[in-house]
């Protein structure tokens, strides 16, 4: 069975996902990379997922993301670690697709640490109030956290934990439930 990692940007989904995939001898799949590859096939251009979102807007990006997730769902042979984008689980369509792939693990990071991690790579497009990124993050967390909580089979508190430790906790919790 596959494992789906959900949570906010910078919660550690990619880093932890790669460690999990190695420890469990599974293939690692990153939604951001899938979206970028799909966009390149469709347009002939190379853009990062951030640039795609900025250039075409939320609706286009959401449709592209759902299309990519649907393809991942069809191609999955039950042996992947999927790192979702922070917004992937926000639509009902994507939630249904994620459930078909495998159990969802919510990587939860407290707001202060999350904001610090996000800002390390520059202000992302989804933090709309550039003069107050903390306020923007609060608004996003208010919307997203309940969705992550609702669809998660397992929730891991990741604040002040190293990625290897988080991967170990996921493995322990995952196998304790199965």
Residue with tokens 């459930």: 99
Please enumerate in sequence order all residues whose Cβ is within 8 A of that of 108, keeping only pairs 6 or more positions apart, or say none.
7, 11, 145, 148, 155, 156, 157, 158, 159
Stated pTM of the model = 0.92
Domains recognised in the chain with CATH numbers:
3-168 (3.40.50.300)
The predicted-structure confidence for 112-145, as pLDDT tens digits, reads as follows 998 888 888 776 666 666 678 888 889 889 999 9
């Amino acid at each position: 069975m596959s494992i789906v990692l959900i949570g906010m940007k910078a919660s550690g989904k990619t880093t932890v996902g790669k460690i999990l995939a190695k420890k469990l001898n599974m293939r690692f799949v990153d939604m951001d990379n899938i979206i970028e590859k799909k966009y390149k096939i469709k347009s002939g251009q190379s853009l990062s997922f951030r640039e795609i979102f900025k250039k075409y807007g939320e609706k286009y990006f959401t449709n592209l993301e759902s299309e990519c997730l649907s393809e991942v769902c069809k191609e999955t042979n039950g042996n992947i670690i999927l790192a979702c984008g922070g917004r992937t689980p926000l639509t009902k369509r994507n939630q249904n697709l994620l459930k078909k792939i495998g159990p969802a693990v919510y990587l939860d990071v407290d707001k202060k640490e999350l904001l610090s991690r996000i800002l390390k790579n520059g202000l992302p497009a989804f933090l709309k109030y550039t003069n107050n990124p903390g306020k923007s993050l609060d608004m996003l967390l208010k919307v997203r956290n309940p969705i992550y909580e609702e669809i998660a089979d397992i929730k891991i508190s990741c604040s002040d934990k190293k990625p290897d430790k988080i991967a170990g906790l996921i493995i322990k919790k995952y196998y304790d439930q199965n």
